[in-house]
A = this chain, B = another copy of it.
Amino acid sequence: MIEQPYLLFLGDAPDALAAKVAQGIRDWRPDAAIGQLRLPGCNADMGLPEMGVAEAAAAGAKTLVIGVANRGGVISPAWKTVLMEALDAGLDLAAGLHNLLRDEADLAGRAADLGRNLHDVRLPVGRFPIATGEKRPGKRLLPMGTDCSCGKMYTALAIEREMLARGMKASFRATGQTGILITGSGIPLDAVVADFMAGAVEQLSPAADEDHWDLIEGQGSLYHPSFSGVTMALVHGGQPDAMVLCHEPTREHMRGLPGRPLPSLEALRETAEHVARMVNPQARCIGVSVNTARMGEAEALDYLAATEKRLGLPTVDPFRQGAGRLVEALP
């Protein structure tokens, strides 16, 4: 659990895209961040009050979150200065960088001396059981992608927001580093040891009230050969009652695999329901979430309408239209 509120560190982000973790926090947990810290040359802006670390600590910040990707896999001297200051000012640090905070001797030493936490959210924390496959109370939804990185996290967060706005019981459950930084907790499933993947998902989404929904962040795709095992563990550990098919229509091949076409939504629907019903006979796809960011408004609406007609399922882009129709389709 990463302590909130956050000070968002935007560093020297060359553009807004480099700060997508910070943007995710800003979009989905606006109350979690009380300020932003930018270095000279930073071209990202979350519209938060500018703060130094001392000021942020005085304002109640508990953790400096690195909300920006670093360049070249190194933590620069300019970053290091800020991070050491943050530890000195009483803040924990949290990051999802490839190079770990704990591997930086000066940060690790200072944190140990001062009793601060370094949260490297790329690494799982704790131990996980072998999955039991037993049915547990509560409802679960899992977005299933035709590919990696096609909007599964966004879809789950949008559904959570919509459900909470309607007074329903709902919890987003993060399975990747960005989701963990956004919500402050979760398990980076891709870094869990194979035998314990499904057990980690069972732990992440425990027994709950019968009318409570876990919105579990999806990973990979059953059709993506690099990561399909992770997705399978997510389905069998998550035992979803409902699935939402997620798709990015302009993609020409599966992510990172030139020449490999995406599956059709129909094929994914059939496969997802087949494997999910091995553990939950009630499992079904209840809607489609399309990421139409690369389409114009008219083209997007045409695509959504045509897809809805083809599949016979509510089909929305939650960014353009909200997730209301998906929530209404829940069993």
Supply 21 A–B pairs (Cβ within 8 Å), ascending by A: A130-B226, A133-B225, A133-B254, A189-B194, A190-B193, A192-B194, A195-B226, A198-B225, A198-B227, A222-B232, A222-B275, A222-B278, A225-B278, A226-B236, A228-B236, A229-B231, A229-B232, A229-B234, A231-B232, A232-B232, A263-B278
Closest B residue, CB atoms, query A256? B130
In the docked arrangement, what's the CA distance between A278 and B274, Å? Answer: 15
Interface size of A by CB at 8 A reads 39
Number of identical protomers: 2
Contact of A229 among B229, B260, B271 (CB under 8 A): B229
Mask, A187-222, CB within 8 Å of B = 1, is 001111111011100000000000000000000001
Q: Please, which residues of chain B bring their CB within 8 A of the CB of A190?
A: 193-195
A9, B190: Cα distance in complex, Å: 37
Answer whether A233 and B229 are a contact pair too, CB < 8 Å, given A132-B257, A192-B194. Answer: yes
User: Which residue of B has the minimal Cβ distance to A278?
Assistant: B223
Asked if A95 lies at the interface with its beta carbon under 8 angstroms from chain B, I say no
A194 and B230 contact, Cβ closer than 8 Å, known pairs A133-B257, A257-B132: yes
Chain B CB within 8 A of A237 CB = yes
Among A227, A229, A233, A236, max chain B CB count under 10 A is at: A229
A282 CB, min distance to chain B CBs, angstroms: 15
A279 at the interface (CB under 8 A from B): yes
Which residue of B199, B230, B271 contacts A226 across the interface (Cβ within 8 Å)?
A: B199
Closest to A221 in B: B278
**A84 interface residue (CB < 8 Å to B):** no
Given A198-B226, A225-B279, A228-B232: A191 touches B193 (CB 8 Å cut-off): yes
Q: Give min CB distance, A131 to chain B, whole Å.
A: 4
Closest 8 CB pairs of A and B: A229-B233, A133-B225, A232-B232, A225-B236, A190-B195, A229-B229, A131-B226, A229-B232
